Structure 1
């Protein structure tokens, strides 16, 4: 059984656009996904990336056009300038960590609900009520938003170290046991082909 480590940021528009397609690929191949939310700004700083606000205007303008095109292609609602971005993505990340530990719900649905809250629903994922609603939507106990904050913080920091060690530099990033790495929502088809033995 293949194992996939999914490194992502709760504030990442590309993690939102991934939807639950990686989960469908994993199910198709009998693979498991371990969700590893990371602080994307800290990851950029460690791996040579530049925060979006600090990029050259050419890159900022292209990113805006490209995100809108990708959302249209995927038929997903998308707001290029969401009301609550940037915000503190850590509380939602801690909830993902707590939910994965607790079990009992749909992790892919939870991650998508959190990302959708930012990029389509105009909600602030730093707010407990928003995180609780996402947990409930995905079949988890909403009180997980209140529990395990220290463990969540420790795991969040550990995920960053693991990401750097694993060669990760963006979100979403899929890392397999054989060290094959797939960056971005547009590499999910390649992930599928690799698991099929085609790549």
Structure 2
């Protein structure tokens, strides 16, 4: 059985556009997924990347055009300028980590729920009410957000260190444990699907 380490950001529009396709692919191949939310801005700093707002104007313009195109192609609602971006993505990431530890719900739905809240629903995922609502919608106890915060913070930091050590430099990023094959971006999910079919 294949295993996928999924590095993502709760603030990333590209993570949002991945939807739940990873989960569908994993189910098709009987693969397991470890959800590893991380601080994407810190990751950029550690791996030679540049935060979106600091990129050359031509790169920012292309990013804006491509996000809108990709969303339209996928049939997903998308707000290029959401009301609450940037915001603090750490509390939502902590909730994912705590939910993974406690179990009882759908982690894929939770991760997607947070990004959808930002990029399609104009909600602030730094707010307790929004975090608890996303937990509940994905089948988790809303109180999960209040438990194990220190442990979740430690894991969040460890996810960043692991990402840097394993060649991760963006989000979403998928690493197949058995082969160390790496796939960057929601537009590489088809390639991940094909790779898993060979295992």
Q: Secondary structure at the match of 1:139?
A: coil
TM-score (norm 1): 0.99
1:109-120 aligned at under 5 Å gives the runs 109-120=109-120
The Cα of 1:179 is off from its aligned counterpart by 0.5
Superposed structure 1 runs of 4+ greater than 3 Å apart? none
Unaligned runs of 5+ in 2: none
1:10-159 aligned at under 5 Å gives the runs 10-159=10-159
The Cα of 1:40 is off from its aligned counterpart by 0.3
Q: How far apart, CA to CA, are the structure 2 residues paired with 1:145 and 1:84?
A: 20
Q: How far apart, CA to CA, are the structure 2 residues paired with 1:128 and 1:79?
A: 22
Q: How far apart, CA to CA, are the structure 2 residues paired with 1:148 and 1:88?
A: 18
Q: How far apart, CA to CA, are the structure 2 residues paired with 1:86 and 1:151?
A: 25
The Cα of 1:197 is off from its aligned counterpart by 1.5
Q: How far apart, CA to CA, are the structure 1 residues paired with 2:148 and 2:87?
A: 21
Tell me the residue number matched to 2:187: 186
Q: How far apart, CA to CA, are the structure 1 residues paired with 2:8 and 2:117?
A: 15
Aligned residue pair count: 198
Unaligned runs of 5+ in 1: none
Q: How far apart, CA to CA, are the structure 2 residues paired with 1:81 and 1:145?
A: 27
Q: Secondary structure at the match of 1:33?
A: strand
The Cα of 1:21 is off from its aligned counterpart by 0.2
